[in-house]
Amino acid sequence: MSTANLAAPVVRWERQGRIARIEFSSGSRNHFSTPLLAQLADAFEQAEREPEVNAIVLCSRGRNFCAGADLVDGQEEPATLYAEAMRLFAIRKPIVAAVQGAAIGGGLGLALVADFRIVAPSSRLSANFVKLGIHPGFAMTYTLPRVVGPQRAAELFYTGRRLTGKEAHAIQLADRIVAEDQLLDAALEFACAIAENAPLAVEATRSTLRMGLLEALKSRTEHEAAEQLRLRTTADFAEGIRAVTERRPGNWMRA
């Protein structure tokens, strides 16, 4: 993928008491890329090594949490991208995400790396892959059903519909809903409620709850990557990009 038209990603790391606050930015819509995920993974692993850190808050700068991959200006290599994503999933410490604005496609997948998600009424969450003519990725075919259940996940994948923050909270895709100007404070407060407990016990409990997760995610992303590469060559994918860019339904050709 050419990144010439994408803003260079910036990831900032700071410790606030026993919380590592990790903030990223990559342009107005915070599109993700392999370089961004690599920087995020570096920051997460740094927090992992800090004995004073018991929990992580993931947040972004700007109007949108993450609007997914930039499919207009280029295409990521799925296998390389998901290798960096696996580094995020491998972190042992609990993660809380503050999700403002759009968390769309793989941007929602990034939010699902976190154990918990805090949203605002104005947040917009969508697994819109079928509207683009592409297969879901970022291990979302595994992570989303674990959070909302298989039936609800199927609905979200098959329709690609967009949820408000209130709707996401109602189906437990989000764990708290607060005013937008309180998002970060609410995420930090949530993380502090975790971090005040015995860290070895928290991490051991989290590890048990996630037993077998990494192996399952690696297997699932291998399949997702193969399907994305197959569908990326179709006329329907090209039409999906045009349709979403032009804000209209797709004219599908099954080709």
| pLDDT tens digits, 125-134 | 999 999 999 9
Q: 55 in helix, strand or coil?
A: strand
Which pLDDT band holds residue 70 (cuts at 50, 70, 90)?
Answer: confident
pLDDT exceeds cutoff 60 at 224: yes
| pLDDT tens digits, 81-115 | 999 999 999 999 999 999 999 999 999 999 999 99
In the beta sheet, which residues pair with residue 11? Answer: 24
* CA pair distance 93, 146, nearest whole angstrom: 19
Which pLDDT band holds residue 74 (cuts at 50, 70, 90)?
Answer: low
Q: Strands of 10-16's sheet, edge to edge? A: 10-16, 19-25, 55-60, 95-99, 116-119, 176-177
What is the structure's pLDDT at 3? Answer: 37
pLDDT exceeds cutoff 70 at 2: no
Geometric angle at alpha carbon 104, from 100 and 109, rounded to 5°: 95
Q: Measured between alpha carbons, how far is residue 64 from residues 59, 108, 149, 180, 213 in Å?
A: 10, 11, 26, 11, 28
Q: Strands of 162-164's sheet, edge to edge? A: 102-104, 124-126, 162-164
| pTM beyond cutoff 0.85 | yes
R_g of the chain computed on alpha carbons: 17
Q: Measured between alpha carbons, how far is residue 193 from residues 113, 133, 230 in Å?
A: 19, 41, 44
In the beta sheet, which residues pair with residue 95? Answer: 56
Question: Range with the lowest mean pLDDT among 15-19, 22-26, 93-97, 245-249?
Answer: 245-249
* CA pair distance 248, 41, nearest whole angstrom: 36
What is the structure's pLDDT at 27? Answer: 83
CATH number of 10-180+195-245: 3.90.226.10, 3.40.50.1980, 2.60.40.10, 3.40.640.10?
3.90.226.10
